[in-house]
Each structure stands twice: as structure tokens, then as C-alpha cells.
């Protein structure tokens, strides 16, 4: 449920930055392009990328200076997939237990 009282522009911006990086894992995006797409200054992008890097959510490609998603994002996705697989296995086990004929 949306509550505008909880909105925080900088948090929203950094989340939009993560979403913008999605799909550009191989070559990344130039900081200039990120600044333009989010309509913020290059300094703001530098600060936001730094914070994402600190958490392992983004990385800078040394050869090009472009930014891409970091390994932590993939690790989160794999953890989610693993949890869903475990839940599915558990539901299948329960379903099999209850569907057996006495």
C-alpha cells in the first residue's frame, strides 16, 4: 500500500539506478548515460554508484569506466530461486503424503 509519507527521493533514485543497470551486465552503462536517464548530476551518480559498490550491488568495469550490476544481485536471485525450489519440494512432499490411498 503506497504511503507518500514514507517516500524518500534518494532511496527511490538508487533503486531506479539498479533497475536501469539491469540488462547491461556485460558492457555496463556509462555514468553520463545513467545521470541523463535519472535526470541527476554526474556527482549524484558517482555517489550512488559508490554506495551500490559498497554493498556489492554494482561494480565499475576497470577497462571502460562503465557501471554494471555486481555479483550480489545474482547471489540474491539464486538464493530466491533456491528457496522457491525448497518450498516447491516441500509442497510436493505434502501433496504426495495426502494424496496416497490408505
What confidence score (pLDDT) does residue 69 get? 96
Q: 102 versus 36: which is more confidently predicted?
A: 36
What confidence score (pLDDT) does residue 31 get? 97
Per-residue pLDDT at 2 exceeds 80: no
Per-residue pLDDT at 72 exceeds 90: yes
pLDDT tens readout for residues 11-67:
999 999 999 999 999 999 999 999 999 999 999 999 999 999 999 999 999 999 999
Per-residue pLDDT at 1 exceeds 90: no
Cα–Cα distance for residue pair 54/49, rounded to 1 Å: 9
Kindly report the backbone phi and psi dihedral angles of residue 3, in degrees, each rounded to the nearest multiple of 5, phi listed first: -140, 100
Cα–Cα distance for residue pair 41/16, rounded to 1 Å: 15
Distances (CA, A) of 39 to 10, 22, 29, 42: 13, 18, 15, 9
What confidence score (pLDDT) does residue 49 get? 98
Residues 35 and 52 sit within 8 Å (Cβ to Cβ): no
Per-residue pLDDT at 82 exceeds 80: yes
Amino acid at each position: 500500500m503506497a504511503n507518500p509519507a514514507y517516500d524518500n527521493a534518494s532511496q527511490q533514485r538508487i533503486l531506479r539506478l539498479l533497475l536501469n543497470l539491469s540488462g547491461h551486465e556485460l558492457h555496463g552503462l556509462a555514468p553520463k548515460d545513467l545521470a541523463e536517464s535519472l535526470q541527476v548530476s554526474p556527482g549524484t551518480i558517482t555517489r550512488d554508484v559508490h554506495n551500490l559498490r559498497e554493498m556489492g550491488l554494482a561494480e565499475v568495469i576497470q577497462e571502460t569506466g562503465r557501471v554494471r550490476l555486481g555479483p550480489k544481485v545474482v547471489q540474491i536471485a539464486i538464493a530466491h530461486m533456491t528457496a522457491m525450489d525448497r518450498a516447491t519440494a516441500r509442497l510436493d512432499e505434502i501433496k504426495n503424503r495426502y494424496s496416497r490411498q490408505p
